[in-house]
Amino acid sequence: MLDIIKSAELVSYPAVLEFMEERVSGIIDGSKRECLWLLEHEPLYTYGTSAKQTDLLSKDFPVYEARRGGEFTYHGPGQRVVYVMLKLEPHDLRKFVWRLEEVIIQTLAHYGVAGERREGRVGIWVIDGGEEKKIAAIGIRVRKWVSFHGISINIRPDLSHFKGIVPCGISNYGVTSLEKLLLDIDDNEFDNVLVEKFYSIFCHPAA
């Protein structure tokens, strides 16, 4: 069984880190179930183990060490974050990341948006105004083959807030959102579509 948690209020980042530590420890020892937590944060920046401090261009918002892989990213209202606490198949991290990407791609496809992978660039990319821009990010950590952290998808965040960092260390490409692509998204429907795609890909995978 899998616990699905959806938070209507903004959730603090330290509270999420504490929850993930406790839940992942429980999954490892068998006392707790796997979990997806869908939420939004107050505006903040996080950084992972690969981050360069020169990529933090502004300290207008709180900055947190994320205890995950990856570089700097932004979280804030209007961005759906999904924390994924799952047991992985040993030594199959690449397949796990591919499936997370596929959840995003198929969720975007539901709204007629073509999300794509790019070699050497983490996340999911779309064409906006004739340019490639990032619409979703992925950052994970694994302990004893149980995952932490997860994905974020830009529904309607304030995109100017991304100017405080070099997102994921990539300076040559911008970021976008479903709102900027002129889509009016119902958040509850979006969550339902995303969870449906997650079950399809992780519980009944075609590959």
Question: Per residue in 18-66, pLDDT tens?
Answer: 999 999 999 999 999 999 999 999 999 999 888 889 899 998 999 999 9
Domain count, the chain: 1
What count of residues does the chain have?
A: 207
**Residue that is written with structure tokens 């900027």 in the block:** 180
CATH number where 168 lies: 3.30.930.10
26/204 Cα distance (integer angstroms): 25
Question: Do the Cβ atoms of 104 and 39 come closer than 8 Å?
Answer: no
According to the model, what pLDDT value does residue 173 have?
84
> Catalytic: which of 140, 168, 178, 194?
168
Give me the pLDDT at residue 205, please: 56
- All residues at 6 or more sequence positions from 197 whose CB lies less than 8 Å from its CB, including other chains: 102, 103, 106, 107, 110
Residues (pLDDT < 50) of the chain are 207
Residue 203 designated active-site: no
The pLDDT of residue 61 is 96
How many Cβ atoms are within 10 Å of 194's Cβ, its own excluded?
A: 22
Question: What is this structure's pTM?
Answer: 0.94
How does DSSP classify residue 60?
A: S
* Residue 106 burial (CB count, 10 A): 17
Range of the domain at 165: 2-203
Query: Token pair of 164, please?
Result: 């405080």
